[in-house]
Structure 1
Amino acid sequence: MAALMKEPAIRPRIIIHGGAGNITRENLPPAAYHEYREALLGILQDANSRLVLPGATALDVATFAVELLENNALFNSGHGAVYTRAGTHELEASVMVSRGYKKRGVGVMRLTRVKNPIQLAREMLRRGEEKDGGGAHQHCQIAGETCNQLAEKWGLDMVEPSYFWTRRRWDEHRRGLGKEHDDETYKRHRKEIDAGRESSNVSDHDSVVGDPSWNGHDYLPQGTVGCVVMDSTGTLCTATSTGGITNKVVGRIGDTPTLGAGFWAEEWTSTKAMPYLNTTLPSPMSSLSNLLSDCLPSMSGYLPVPLSASIVSSRRGAAMSGTGNGDSFLRVNAVRTAAAMARFSSSECSTVSLQKAVTAVAGPNGVLQQSAEDRWHQTGEGEGGIIGVELANGQGQIVADFNCGGMFRTWMDDKGKAQMMIFREEYRE
């Protein structure tokens, strides 16, 4: 029978990402770098200040951090979300916990009037404890107008579609379609969108020269924002939100609201063999050997006792949030694949760390990159990264890796110091 390993006090952990993709020093000048750095570190500090309070939960802190990201136009979520080909916004969000709620994970998609999609995902998870799910029943994924209706019913902040309009994202959208993007056109289309008119005269079936979501030079957001938190109880939560891929087709669903593809959280009981040596016992020949010891000094009065092993069990968990080309994440069920590697490739004698699993999926030449085949670096396919937290032996470990130009990320390190990086090495001006 496996003995339960006594776990030490658990120190909360947090990591945040702000998207990944074709980020280079050429398309991220110093001024932009400092803007991202200040925003990410500020959000990290605000979230961490809540995480260290007594009774703080991973769910509350993770969704709070993502809400702050949604409110910042720098990031592809909420207020700063990218446009569809039709010039509209269809937002997505998800949340998942390792334990504590019946649904465990939920995804909401094609939102058009909910100010903070992550709060709708949170409410849908929480209200799953009610008999009828607060109107969402036991469904784990809901799309479209039903999402808007539930958000209103639950008292969440609602906005007009024009709230999600920002000039920067609109310019990216129009340039990608080869359309004019002057001030007058922007103002006119922004006004018309609240009246229910699509702003672009390009239909989903029209031909556009090149790929309007990726050109290999600019950083056109095709990722997400996300936060992974472990609280003092060892409960893990991942929260993710996005506008999707720049100039996506209306109705397209990405990995962000899809369980296993763009997010995952779980925990399980891990067993491990702990070797030990029994107390050495006198052998039956000890009396004889003592008599002969003067003549044969090398003879021992003790026989070696072989090593034995005690099987101990402990709680292990993993939570992750992905960012990048969502269609590629969907094809390989990227985040759940990493979790499965860590869980099912481990044994009593060896453990596959979550970091190793994440690198195998989202690192250079990993599963995501290989999924692009000969289209790698041609279409944006396969590009992305994953952040996460692993719980093992009562301790949380921050993990992250990516295969593209860069990934905006910030976290509290093992010494409690705030860190922020984009590339693999420090940004140098």
Structure 2
Amino acid sequence: MRNLNLLMLLLAIYFVSCKTNSKKPEKLDYALCIHGGAGTILKKNMTAEKEKQIYSKLDEALSIGDSVLRNGGSALDAVELSIHVLEDSPLFNAGKGAVFTNSGKNELDASIMWGKDLNAGAVAGVDDVKNPISAARKVMENSEHVLLSGKGASKFAKQQGLSIVDSSYFYTAKRWEYLQKIRSKEQQMKQSDRYGTVGCVALDKNGNLAAGTSTGGMTNKKFGRIGDSPIIGAGTYANNATCAVSCTCHGEYFIRLSIAKDIAAMMEYKNMSLDEATNAVIEKLNQINGTGGFISLDKYGKPAMKMNTPGMYRGYINSKGEKEKYLYR
């Protein structure tokens, strides 16, 4: 009996010691990730000037988000304003740089989610809202709905006082010329031209996570196609208990796998780390021959920026002043 009691005492001491010595992850005051699309992004195909322009615009988006968070702003504000920078640049397939559909139009999609209460908003197929990410936020905050599309989404955006532009605003010669090339030759589109999305995830000083995604869709798309970007759980997801995620590339695969939500679910139900969950999701994507990438932050501000494509425009910044920007894998 004495030996049994001694054994139990030793076991108790061991478990208390393990608990005491277990190191909790460091929690950053704030952090932010951005992406500007994934695909066949190769250095050999990139001019020095364009590379410089992309790095500069990523830096601008990171700096805007960092300023919001550093001054105590919300993750939602940081996400929205960082995405504005990318939507307003013709370098990315969102807003001003959106690709053209088969009918020669620009159709824009966006979504945003608040990890604090799991509220979310999205718009799809809008053609006159300057910054679709703001329309998505208005849907989240000022309506009982999650997703509005087409003319209804535009009407709602106008009622909310958002900036409305003529559809010609979204025209860029590069995107238009590529559509003509596709139409005339019916050639296979390169990933770098076919796909592309912008997104942002953020953690603020109050411990709240947010995620947002905005896109011009797919070059030469037909039949009112909508990808994963405005679909909560597929292209965008945020939950304070786990992580925030924004996805990019071939949306059909991301919808089929509910990738953004799947990452959070593996963390919640399987107690996986963000690295473990994102690696598992990339493997799932590989198994169905899907292509793409995503950015993510866990509740401690740790990032994971993963892809199975040759490149993804992406960047990260945090409260310690650490900043990273990448174009290639």
Structure-2-length-normalised TM-score: 0.89
For the pair 1:369 / 2:277, whether they are aligned, the reply is no
Cα distance, 1:250 vs structure 2: 3.9
Counterpart mapping for 1:70-219 below 5 A: 70-100=87-117, 104-127=119-142, 133=143, 138-178=144-184, 209-211=186-188, 214-215=189-190, 219=192
Distance 2:94 2:237 in 1: 19
Aligned to 2:328, the other structure's residue is in SS state coil
For the pair 1:343 / 2:259, whether they are aligned, the reply is no
What amino acid is the match of 2:199? G
Cα distance, 1:369 vs structure 2: 2.1
Q: Which residue, out of 379, 400, 403, partners 2:308? A: 403
CA contact (8 A) 1:260 1:334 kept: yes
Distance 1:389 1:370 in 2: 24
CA contact (8 A) 1:17 1:387 kept: yes
What amino acid is the match of 1:88? K
For the pair 1:385 / 2:293, whether they are aligned, the reply is yes
Aligned counterpart, 2:230: 257
Distance 2:54 2:321 in 1: 21
For the pair 1:17 / 2:17, whether they are aligned, the reply is no
Change (3 A) 1:57 1:25: same
For the pair 1:326 / 2:251, whether they are aligned, the reply is yes
Cα distance, 1:34 vs structure 2: 1.1
Cα distance, 1:26 vs structure 2: 2.5
Cα distance, 1:255 vs structure 2: 0.1
What amino acid is the match of 1:155? G
Aligned to 1:43, the other structure's residue is in SS state helix
Task: Please list the CA deviations of residues 129-152 of structure 1 after superposition, one character each: whole Å capped at 9, or x if unmatched.
Answer: xxxx2xxxx221111100110011
Distance 1:176 1:88 in 2: 15
Percentage identity across aligned positions?
A: 35
Distance 1:386 1:171 in 2: 28
Q: Which residue, out of 220, 224, 238, partners 2:211? A: 238
Structure 1, unpaired ranges of 5+: 1-5, 128-132, 180-208, 269-316, 347-351, 373-381, 425-429
Aligned counterpart, 2:276: 356
Distance 1:74 1:356 in 2: 32
For the pair 1:67 / 2:84, whether they are aligned, the reply is yes
CA contact (8 A) 2:122 2:137 kept: no
Max radius of gyration: which structure?
1
CA contact (8 A) 1:223 1:384 kept: no
Name the count of aligned residue pairs. 308
CA contact (8 A) 1:359 1:402 kept: no
Cα distance, 1:267 vs structure 2: 3.1
Distance 2:95 2:319 in 1: 31
After the TM superposition, list the runs of 4 or more consecutive aligned residues in structure 1 that deviate by more than 4 angstroms. 6-10
Distance 1:10 1:41 in 2: 20
Distance 1:370 1:23 in 2: 22
What amino acid is the match of 1:98? G
What amino acid is the match of 1:92? D
CA contact (8 A) 1:10 1:234 kept: no
More helix by share: 2
Structure 2, unpaired ranges of 5+: 1-23
Aligned to 1:114, the other structure's residue is in SS state coil
CA contact (8 A) 1:115 1:158 kept: yes
CA contact (8 A) 2:139 2:147 kept: no
Q: Please report the RMSD computed on the Cα atoms of aligned residues, expressed in angstroms.
A: 2.1
Aligned to 1:239, the other structure's residue is in SS state strand
Aligned counterpart, 1:422: 327
